[in-house]
Amino acid sequence: MNGDEYIEKIDFDYIIHTIHNFPLSTEFFYWLAQDDVENKIILEKIEGGVYERIGEYYIHKLRVFDGGGKFYLDKISESMNLRFSTEKELFYALLPELRQLEKKTVSEHLNGCYFTVVSDFYYKGKACGSCWEIYDLPKIIHIYKIKKAPAKPLHV
């Protein structure tokens, strides 16, 4: 491992650890960039009692995240069901409802510069949905260094 690869691994490990400090990816990105996050919805549909959404997050025009999820409308709270069924909401607006859910990681994997997480969601102890998340670590590290970096370099 050369010096640049070592610094990259430390940076990746640090950002992955930071991502783990937030129960939801939405909370991580709000912490990282607040109002600079643009959410682009690629797919949003309700079919057969299942709400599905696929989206991307951009910060300063850099695509930093892809994610998608499915929720079974008969297994989530009435307020969440109503909001999914009637409004196209940014997930920031849905945080109160999303925080009612328990998220359990099924798998996570680092492949090159992408960190992937697959999770299941539970409402009152019962499975109600699932999601997948793909984080573009070099772009996230770039944004982190601009917005949040401590006085010391990230890799120290």
Which has the closest alpha carbon to 24: 116, 84, 75, 99?
A: 99
Does residue 127 contact residue 120 with C-beta atoms inside 8 Å? Answer: yes
CATH number of 3-147: 3.40.1410.10
Contact present, 58 and 64 (Cβ < 8 Å) = yes
Whole-structure pTM value: 0.85
- Can you tell me the distance from the alpha carbon of 143 to that of 31, in angstroms, rounded to the nearest whole number? 12
Q: What ranges do the domains of the chain cover?
A: 3-147
More confident site: 67 or 7: 67
pLDDT at 104: 96
Share of the chain above pLDDT 90, in %: 57
- 116, 155, 144: which is closest to 29 by C-alpha? 144
pLDDT digits (tens, 9 = 90+) for 82-112: 877 766 656 667 778 888 899 999 999 999 9
When pLDDT is averaged across residues 52-59 and rounded to a whole number, the result is 92
Residue 16: its H or E element = helix 3-20
Looking at every residue in the chain, the average pLDDT score rounds to: 86
Q: What is the mean pLDDT of residues 41-62?
A: 92
Amino acid 3: pLDDT: 46
